[in-house]
């Protein structure tokens, strides 16, 4: 296949010691609720019970037995769904963001992989290759998980399906988030009203609608940069929550999450992840998939855009994730050795 409109993107890896933001929002709320009080703790427990949804017999088909996050290395796939009243289709909605976290229990380290929504991938459910974000429309989280497992050749143990509506409600509850917007742009809002949100470049406090527009716009760059912006929003939310701003709104935040989330994790399993943040020495490595722009004709003869993965780089990424999960022996060239703590403010 010819490499038309080739644009290489180098895989970004940044090792930093930062506050535990990765399993936001559910882990942050669950662990916070434990110390906040019995009422909120019970509310969080009820929220998780209502959000629980299991459709894979409790374990990945690539595992011999179900993992225990208290003692095992595990992986979690975050499926972001961007729905409006106009576009809402439940489990037949296409995913808008995919983030795969692999967690090493002994080292308390995490690899966070952004998977571009336009990634060209084989979807076994339909028997052909197309954009990976279509997998959710073909079979919800189950098909999305199986597609990611096939692409990366690693087990996906857990999933968290979150509607972006939850992020807007949480951001508004904590009084907005501070984001350094790199460029001025206009974007539609959550109701699909064109150019309803306009932002100028520079550091500013964004409300829920503005933060969502910042996270999902693709007019000024590409899907790789879009994935990075989504990570920035997650970090900004957690930083605000860590400041104590979320405590008075804890009940409201739990309601926002509960109304917009599905997961196959139990409340007890989520509590098992609290140790990753409590240690204060969490190593997080963020990365994306190296590839290039590609245009492939569809059945009507029209060229369709895809993010075509570099096969050699994909194999390296797969190996790195396997080593993080302990499925392959680590080497001196892997990123599984924790670095000295770095102050995030530096």
User: What's the whole-number average pLDDT of the chain?
Assistant: 79
Residue 23 predicted with pLDDT over 80: no
CA dihedral 146, 151, 153, 157 (to 10 degrees): -40
Point out the least confidently predicted range of 54-58, 205-209, 227-231, 294-298. Answer: 54-58
CATH code: domain 14-164+247-324 is: 3.30.420.590
> What mean pLDDT is predicted for residues 216-231?
78
At residue 344, the pLDDT reads 35
Over residues 188-197, the pLDDT tens digits come to: 888 889 999 9
Over residues 272-312, the pLDDT tens digits come to: 876 665 555 556 677 889 999 999 998 888 999 999 999 99
Tell the burial category of 309 from Cβ atoms under 10 Å away from its Cβ (0-12, 13-18, 19+): buried
H helices present in the chain, as ranges:
26-36, 38-51, 135-152, 164-173, 208-216, 223-240, 250-258, 267-272, 274-278, 311-324
Whether 81 contacts 135, CB under 8 Å = no
Give residue 60's Cα distance to chain centre. 19
Strands 74-81 and 97-104: antiparallel
Point out the least confidently predicted range of 14-23, 60-69, 233-242. Answer: 14-23
Over residues 259-270, the pLDDT tens digits come to: 788 899 888 888
Whether 133 contacts 95, CB under 8 Å = yes
Residue 184 predicted with pLDDT over 90: yes
* More confident of the two residues 80 and 120: 120
* More confident of the two residues 256 and 329: 329
Q: Among 267, 268, 327, which residue's Cα sits nearest to residue 72?
A: 327
Percent of residues, the chain, with pLDDT higher than 90: 40
Over residues 90-129, the pLDDT tens digits come to: 567 899 889 899 999 988 888 889 899 999 999 999 999 9
At residue 2, the pLDDT reads 42
The count of C-alpha atoms lying within 13 angstroms of the C-alpha of 169, restricted to the half-sphere facing its C-beta, is: 19
Can you tell me the distance from the alpha carbon of 122 to that of 150, in angstroms, rounded to the nearest whole number?
Answer: 8
Domains in the chain: boundaries: 14-164+247-324
Reported confidence tier of residue 148, pLDDT bands at 50, 70, 90: very high
Strand, helix or coil for residue 173? helix
Point out the least confidently predicted range of 58-62, 233-237, 312-316. Answer: 233-237
Mean pLDDT comparison of 21-25, 31-35, 54-58, 138-142, highest-scoring range:
138-142
Can you tell me the distance from the alpha carbon of 346 to that of 37, in angstroms, rounded to the nearest whole number?
Answer: 34
């Amino acid at each position: 296949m010819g490499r038309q409109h080739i644009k290489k993107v180098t895989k970004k890896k940044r090792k930093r010691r930062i506050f535990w933001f990765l399993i936001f929002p559910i882990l942050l709320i669950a662990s916070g609720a434990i110390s906040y009080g019995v009422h909120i703790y019970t509310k969080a427990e009820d929220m998780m019970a209502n959000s629980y949804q299991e459709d894979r017999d409790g374990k990945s088909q690539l595992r011999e037995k179900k993992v225990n996050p208290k003692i095992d290395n595990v992986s979690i796939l975050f499926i972001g769904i961007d729905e409006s009243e106009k576009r809402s289709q439940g489990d037949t909605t296409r995913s808008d963001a995919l983030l795969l976290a692999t967690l090493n229990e002994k080292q308390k380290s995490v690899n966070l992989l952004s998977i571009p929504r336009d990634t060209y991938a084989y979807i076994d459910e339909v028997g052909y290759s197309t954009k990976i974000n279509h997998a959710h429309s073909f079979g919800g989280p189950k098909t999305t998980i199986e597609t990611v497992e096939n692409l990366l050749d690693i087990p996906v143990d857990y999933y968290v399906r979150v509607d972006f509506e939850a992020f807007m409600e949480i951001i508004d509850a904590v009084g907005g988030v501070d984001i350094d917007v790199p460029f001025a742009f206009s974007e539609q809002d959550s109701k699909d009203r064109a150019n309803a949100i306009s932002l100028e470049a520079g550091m500013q406090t964004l409300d829920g609608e503005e933060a969502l527009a910042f996270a999902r716009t693709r007019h000024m760059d590409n899907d790789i940069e879009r994935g990075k912006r989504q990570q920035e929003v997650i970090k900004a939310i957690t930083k605000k929550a860590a400041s104590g701003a979320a405590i008075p709104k804890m009940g409201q935040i739990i309601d926002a999450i509960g109304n917009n989330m599905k997961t196959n994790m139990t409340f007890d399993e989520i509590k098992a992840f609290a140790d990753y943040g409590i240690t204060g020495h969490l190593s997080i490595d963020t990365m994306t998939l190296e590839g290039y722009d590609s245009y492939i004709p569809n059945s009507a003869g029209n060229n369709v855009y895809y993010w075509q993965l570099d096969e050699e780089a994909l194999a390296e990424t797969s190996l790195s994730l396997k080593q993080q999960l302990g499925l392959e022996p680590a080497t001196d060239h892997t990123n599984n050795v924790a670095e000295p703590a770095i102050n995030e403010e530096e």
